Structure 1
Amino acid sequence: MTDGRLFLAIAAVICIGVFLNGLRFYRMNRNPWSGKSIMGIPVEGGDLSRARVRRLGLGQMIAAPLMLILFIALCFGLLGPVQGIQTIKL
């Protein structure tokens, strides 16, 4: 991956997805994993309280924009040259 624009576009799509997933968890009224099992094995996280599930979503909603800012800084060369990524020049 040599073009910074392509890298930034992929990173932006991933960060938007993480933000929307965090929003989904933040707005949940119950734990989505409680009582669920995969091949007879209970899903981990089924015992989390509603507050912890919402906190998990809030953490994702906070981390996604911060990671996008980090990726932007990498792509524009603000943190120095990165081997293998051609920086974006305005």
Structure 2
Amino acid sequence: MQVNEETRTPVLNRLRRAQGQLSGVISMIEEGRDCKEVVTQLAAVSRALDRAGFKIIASGMRDCAGAEGGELTEAELEKLFLALA
């Protein structure tokens, strides 16, 4: 997958964070932890994955917008896309 360096680093950071959170959720389930705690952490994993995906999509949208003379920044495109979620 081709992602520019400006996008790659934050996406990888978010994915690594999600990976750690998911490992925590697995451990919590194995330990028989409280359902509410597990669901809360699982929701955090889901949000981290969503945000990484949104960042990748926003980067692609920026490239498309730039090709058509758009003036939106990647952050603005990401914010617009997140508004749809």
TM class, shorter-chain normalised? Answer: 0.5 to 0.7
Query: Hey, which of these two has a bigger chunk of helix by percent?
Result: 2
Structure 1 letter corresponding to 2:41:
Q
> Higher relative CO (CA 8 A, sep ≥ 6), structure 1 or 2?
1
Q: Which residue of 2 aligns with 1:24?
A: 27
Stretches of 4+ moved more than 4 A in 1? none
Looking at structure 2, the residues matched to 56 and 71 of structure 1 have their Cα atoms a distance apart, in angstroms, of 23
Structure 1 letter corresponding to 2:47:
L
Pairwise CA distance, 1:7? 1.0
CA contact (8 A) 2:14 2:52 kept: yes
CA RMSD of aligned residues (A): 2.5
CA contact (8 A) 1:8 1:71 kept: yes
- TM-score when normalising by structure 2: 0.53
- TM-score when normalising by structure 1: 0.51
CA contact (8 A) 2:17 2:48 kept: no
Give ranges in structure 2 of 5+ residues lacking alignment: 62-72, 77-85
Asked whether 1:62 is paired with 2:43, we answer: yes
Query: Hey, which of these two has a bigger chunk of strand by percent?
Result: 1
Pairwise CA distance, 1:20? 1.2
CA contact (8 A) 1:23 1:61 kept: no
Give ranges in structure 1 of 5+ residues lacking alignment: 30-49, 84-90
**For this pair of structures, how many residues does the alignment match?**
59
Q: Deviations over 1:35-77 (max 9, x none)?
A: xxxxxxxxxxxxxxx5xx2321232123302321122212431
